[in-house]
Each structure stands twice: as structure tokens, then as C-alpha cells.
Chains A and B, each alone.
Chain A
Amino acid sequence: DTAVSQTPKYLVTQMGNDKSIKCEQNLGHDTMYWYKQDSKKFLKIMFSYNNKELIINETVPNRFSPKSPDKAHLNLHINSLELGDSAVYFCASSQVPGNWDEQYFGPGTRLTVT
């Protein structure tokens, strides 16, 4: 039983393309997050949603648009991909915002932009 799942696991695409990453959690949590981990393993929060509402947007370029169709899903759409977008993107969830003891991460999506 996977708690937080992401698809795809790997994504290789060319500059300028538009791509989406999907995330689903089966934990019944209200809050979901997107993090970006760069090549130096620095992990940084991008977005946080609570009950399908955006609560944190960390000065991410507007080429990145998260969408939460329901509490169990938080997808990330990226327009006009750039080389600097190459990274591993992690989805996470917690019962409520800031409940870090109950934050679970997905396995990550490695995005490579060529």
C-alpha cells in the first residue's frame, strides 16, 4: 500500500515543452505539498495546499501551476520547461498544515530537461 505516489518516476523532455507530474495520497490527509530537490540535494518547498486551497506559494515562477482536483490529489503542471527546472520533485502530505510529524513524502519524480 503506497501512502504517497507520484507519476511518472522519470521524465525526460526538451526545453520549451509543457509537462505534468501527478501525485496521489491515500492517507486521508488534508494538506499536500510540492518540494523541489536540486542537484546538490537542497530540498525546498514550492507549494502547499490545504483542502484544495493554496496556502503556500514560495516565489515559484508562474510557469509552475499546481492543481488540486480533490484532497487526495495535487498535480504539478510546468509550462515552457527550462534547463534549470531539472531536479527531483517530491510530493508530500500531512493531516493538517505544519503537522511535520505526520508528513510523508512520495518517491519523487526525476525531471530532466534537455
Chain B
Amino acid sequence: TQLLEQSPQFLSIQEGENLTVYCNSSSVFSSLQWYRQEPGEGPVLLVTVVTGGEVKKLKRLTFQFGDARKDSSLHITAAQPGDTGLYLCAGEQGAQKLVFGQGTRLTINP
């Protein structure tokens, strides 16, 4: 059983479109992170959300932490080919351990 479920697992859209990917759990997390991973590289941290209902923006990316701190979403406006990659969410479980979702593989077509 996956602790963090990401959806969709695969998403392919045209440049300029908007998209939202989701990270859901039945567990409460003290913090949740989003990473982007490109082929042949390690994950790179995009953002950490800590407070229920928190919204953070990173240029065209908007991250939201659910009020109950069980879920999160990532919204990208006007997607660009450079946004292509694997997006991973991760929640802090207990002390000193991160649990990852299975990722959303995003492809932005020019």
C-alpha cells in the first residue's frame, strides 16, 4: 500500500496549457515537499509546505497544502517544454524519514 498516491501517473499536454497534479494520502504529514527529477539526475527540491492550507508560488508553479495536511497539489500555468520531468511529492513520516509518492511523469509538447 502506497502511503502517498500521485495522480495522474502520466500527463502529456501541449505547450501553453495549464495542468494540475495531485498528491493524496490518508495520513497527516508535518511537512510535504515537491521535487522535480530529470532523466539521469537526482531529484531537486522545488518547495516545502508546512502549514495546512498553505499556498506557495514559484514563478508559474503554484503549490497548495491541504487544510488537513493530508494532500497537496501542484498547478502549472502556461506549461513550457522545460517543465518536462518527473514530479515527486514526499511527506515527512515520523522523525527523520521522507516517504515519496510514485511520481507524475509530465511531458510538455512544443
Contacts and interface: CB of A to CB of B under 8 A. Distances in A.
Contact of A43 (B44, B88, B92): B88
A111 interface: no
Contact of B97 (A41, A43, A56): A56
B40 A107 contact: yes
A42 B42 contact: no
Contact of A55 (B31, B33, B92, B96): B96
Contact of A106 (B31, B42, B96, B102): B42
Interface in A65-114: 90, 92, 97-98, 100-101, 103-108
B28 to A, nearest CB: 16
B42 A41 contact: no
Interface size class of A (residues with CB under 8 A): 20 to 34
B13 interface: no
Contact of B105 (A41, A48, A58, A92): A41
A41 B103 contact: yes
A35 B11 CA distance: 25
B43 A43 contact: yes
B78 interface: no
Interface of B: 2, 31, 33, 37, 40-45, 48, 86, 88, 90, 92, 95-98, 100, 102-103, 105
Given A101-B45, A107-B41, 7 more contacts: A41-B88, A41-B103, A42-B103, A43-B100, A90-B42, A98-B92, A105-B44
